[in-house]
Amino acid sequence: MSRFEIVNIEQGSDLWLKFRQSKITASQVPILFSESPYQNLYDLLAEKIIGTKPETNTYKLALYEKGFAAERAGRLYAKEHYGIDLNPAVVVSLMHKHLMASLDGFSDDRKTIFEAKYMGKEKLSLVKTGIIPKHHDIQIQAQLLVSGAEKCIYFATDPEGESAIAEISPDIALFEEIAIKAAKFMDVVGFIKSGSKQKRVRS
């Protein structure tokens, strides 16, 4: 039995943004653990309930482009050193209905996923010693849970073009925590939405 379904949606598109409003994405899972440096639970609730979107500005857009460049470089590296093609994919879990993942890469045999990160020199030096930022690790574990893949090729690069790569294996204990936290959070979202609907009907 397949653990996932690939959805034919372009990452970053309006349809993708609408689709993910009813799901917890792998990149949002660190928020549930209070480990995200970008967003908190209140903001995530607002996004899921009323559709608010994180603000963008010139600085953030520049970072996004650097992130896309890291993805392209990482996929080329994986092709050269691992001999596998890793193509972007939007994946939803069939085992955990609240979870989805927008993968930077997914191998044709569905055994390997790919995640690229652009970061500062200090963080990259830690990655080189095998220390993965906590929020990155949680995100990747969520991706592994959704996809059922056997490993993740994690590619990190800094502003100077230095890079590091690591292979990350599934953490079954963390899988259980992710599934529980995602289900509880979406239960709260559903409860608040149902309450709002009842108020509108009464009024």
Task: Give the pLDDT mean for 194-201.
Answer: 60
Which of residues 33 and 57 earns the better pLDDT score? 33
Q: What is the mean pLDDT of the chain?
A: 90
Contact 82, 172 (CB under 8 A): no
Crossing angle for the helix pair 172-202 and 41-50, nearest 10 degrees? Answer: 50
